[in-house]
Structure 1
Amino acid sequence: MDEIIYLEPDEEITSVVDKIKKSRAKQLGLVIPRSSSLIHSLVNLKLLKKEADGLGKAIALVTADKVGKNIAHQIGLDVYPDIHALKPLSAQNFVDLPKGNEPIEINATEAPANSRSKFQSRQVSSPAIRSYVPVENSTAESGELTEAADGIDLIEAPSTFQPSVRQQAASRTGFQSRQVGSRPRPEAQPRSQRLPGITAPGKFLVGLIILTIIASFLGLPQSTLTITAAAESYQTTLPVIVSLTEPSLTDSGLNLPGKKIEYHGSAAKRFLATGKKEAGTKAKGQVTLYNAWDGNPITLAAGTTLTDQVSGKLFVLPNKAVIPGGSLTLANGKAITNPGKVTVELVANEPGDSYNVKAGKLTIGGISSDRQASIYGETANNLTGGASKQITVLTQADITTATETLQTELLAEALPQLRAKLESPDFKIVDESVQVKLQPAVSNPEKLETETEHFDLKLEADYQAIAFNEASLKQAVLDKVTTDTPEGKTVLFDDTDSIGINYDTRSDDKLILKVEVKTKLGQRVDLDAIASQLPGQSLDSIKESLLAKSEIVEVTLNQFPLGWWQDFSYFSWNTRLKLNYQ
């Protein structure tokens, strides 16, 4: 049996059929309590077998109910004594029920010789002894039991009465013939002498009262014993490998077969360029370079920078410049320094009108600070000609952003297309596991850093996904959790629990998932064993014995009518067991 389904004593057949339909297993075991009305109905069991056959599933019953086992065997259902049994019960464990055309005979043989008087004779076949045959359905085939209500309806079969030889002899000898152990029947009295004052309605009323008392004794009290067992939260994460090839021996965790799904997509779109570049003119002019530090000439390479001491703007020497060495002269008894000087061209480092600065001193870059006062530049006139102009150019950032945009749009288009190729709604793909191979291309030939307002980009991509059967995955995970459940506990997975499927890693032919299971574990409780202890026991004694078990935390009893009975009925059908977990 692939799955065990536990049924309540009062479970309806429609509920059982729903559970069979919802189960994904092909071989089911139905655990039916001894007090269940379902197993006592031939009609219900036949309907159950018919529904299961229509769904392509095999069902077997697990029960200790003797009548139910015989009925199930009669219609071809396998019966197991308990859920741990490896084989169903064999034919010798069952009692064959009578066929529709076979009477149920009652043995009316003689009583023991020592139980009757030597003057008494016996009847071999008395009219008071009745034989019964099952009612036959007019449409039923020969040899098939009639399905009437939940059992076999019996009708009275006519019997014939023939006096025995001994009775005839007794009649001839003058002795009165009577049944063994019975008193002589008094002679019939006139109707007026029979129970005067009790009319037919009165007799009916007396009989009704007697039947009501018997029915009340048999049917009441109705008891529902609710047993609450301990449960605890349980959470685990299992690795699951979905493979396009046969799983290898090194693969750990659960293995499921996968199916490759592919899709090719392409998209083209025009985008705006966002790069900015200064394209104005640069300010320029003449600068005189002075050398009052050394008598030797100083050479400044092309590209040497000079900084305006007022505005801080940076300027550049477009050409190499050599500053002659300085000299000393005497005048009026004092030495006078005559700096060497040269006038050269000076250009602003950047375009823009902000470089149009007034005449003034400039500090030469690359000259140590202790010499900058003696080696410097100076403009006699304002630097002019600088103008600002900003243009839009194509940048690498523009292409990267456009590629990401197209990739996002293509993926949004590809996912529904991949899902549309799945074999059935039971199959699933994980979005994060989809592999993408991009082939980007700029459709217009603009170059980077060139002026343009927009550009066109075309993107092609190949998408590949590994699909898996979600229902099979969840069932495999639940089976694994059930297998790993500690002894004495059971998995209580219901609609409030969850199985989360998360992406882990992916290769060309394998998808590795992390499956997170959140459920509850409950202590296992043997309801059949408890039910066998109930008949005739008091509630207090049952509570005491049940609460002594560590797995049971609470026991409550509901009876109808309230307070009718303090003990459990001797009849098992009057007591219903209900198991809850908390």
Structure 2
Amino acid sequence: MKNIYLEPNEEIISVVDRLVQADDNEINLVVPTGAQIWQSSINLKLLKREANILNKAVTFIVTDDLSAEMAERTGFLVKKERELPVELIQQEEDIVFEDSPEEVRPQQRSDLETIPEETETETETEEEIEKPAQLSESRDNMIDLLVDELESEKKAKKPLAILSGWKKKEIFTQKRMADIVTPVEESKSKFFSQSNKLTVKKEPVKVESVIQPRIFSEVEKKTGSSWSKLMIIFIIVALIVAGFVSYLILPNAEINITLKTEALIFDLSVVGLESISQINESLNQIPLQEVEVTKTKDREFTATGERDIKEKASGRITVYNEYSSSPQVLVATTRFESSDGKIFRILESVTVPGAKIEEGKIIPSIFEIEIIADQAGEEYNIGPSDFVIPGFKGTAKYAGFYGRSSESMSGGYIGRANVVLAEDLEKAKETLIKELKDEVQKILEDQIPTNLKVLEGGLKEEITKISSSHNEGEQADKFTIEIKVIMKALLFKEDDLKSLVGLNSVSKISGDKVLIEGTQKISWQAPEIDWLKGEASFSLNVEEKVAQQIDIQSLKDDLVGQDEVEVRRYLASQPEIERAQVSFWPFWVNKIPTQEKKIKVNIEL
């Protein structure tokens, strides 16, 4: 069994803590009259509850009837003693002086404590202080008697000391707890003798601070306890109001629902026509538009071949017929001799028209032909000249048929020179075609409106012309390639196609299902295009996700006021829901709010 001695001002929290720390299950609680624990029955009830929880038997040891009655009414065992145990009587409160080189304790008498008083001289004097004590023999309320006695002392006593450099403070005599609760031997029926004289020894004391007597602080606490109770009540009411407002305003619930989905897959045949301007749902037709771009480009390239060559000069001359009105045939290799004696030949047979005779005069006919030097060499690169036909020499035709050139002959050469190779021609064509196609495609793309798209396989390129300034094997340092390209494109509105596919998708699902936006996938097969008619036929493979429709308003109506377990059970029972997540805010909320605007439902697909 353990004895616990309470101080008069010891708070209930400290008492409970000491009870918890006690090792024994049987406790004697020695409580003086006027202790703080007697101020409210709540303190006793709290202590009783904690004792029951700890399974400890607590016995109150008291000296007055009122304390005994309060403890018994709460359910404690009570042991009433005339005097408290000596251990409590010997406990004294020291008066602490801060920053003092020594501690000064009050002198003790059998019934009163005295404290030293600072004087101006070091001579010890004694003075008698009369202490009036008017105590009632009734013990119904020991605390009130204690307060009355302290108030009478406050009126009778004067301050014992005024500390130099400090604020004026009253210091009262302090009684020990044993003197209050236990009658002195001179009079058993009273707490104190009615007339006692005390001798106070005056001596200099060096102090800097004084601690007020414990009993006087108890009087002050009694006055402030009512304010503490009012403050506690105010805080409790404020918390209740704040909780009520939070319950109405703050609670929110968010439900994230993922619906079950299924795939819709089907094939669709579509026809595109330039002759229509809007989709035809019944025939699965969409309008087409054609764009065409044409461009010609030439570029000079370098010949990379090199070899020993013998080239003959060539050129063109005009042949005149002043001989007769009859046409004259000139066979291939017919010779023409220049004025400086150079021989050139024609490459193929030609017929020179007959001359005209007007008013007895012969008007010569003319005919232009190509000639080539009889021998290779640069010496045949002659300037403009007159030509005769050596084969007619000695006849009248020699003077009647002749030729004349207006330009120089060229190409005659003997030696090592650059020539155009087949690889040069092929590489030049490939390079120029690629450049031209890129340019044409860029022009075509710039002409396509933003709302149109090129049909899959609906792009056509056509090269209509390829020419070169020199043929393979010809002598040349440079040669020129010219190419012409035509590019066509069939265009359609992507929205038209999606709309047509969407109409077909809707027709293939039941009314309680909905297409999931953004899941449509279209695969194209190679189209058949008639460019002359402006038509295209193609097949599509369509894949799209669908989900069961859910009535959000009905869902909210069903979930209002349900707790988390009920909500999860309800959502799990819905066949169209794949999974769901429920979150509440603030953290203490565990039910769906009663206001629908506080419920947020998010549908995820």
| TM-score range for the pair, normalised by the shorter chain length | 0.3 to 0.5
Which structure carries more relative contact order (alpha carbon 8 Å, separation 6+)?
Answer: 1
Give the TM-score normalised by structure 2.
0.36
Q: Which has the larger radius of gyration?
A: 2
Give the TM-score normalised by structure 1.
0.38
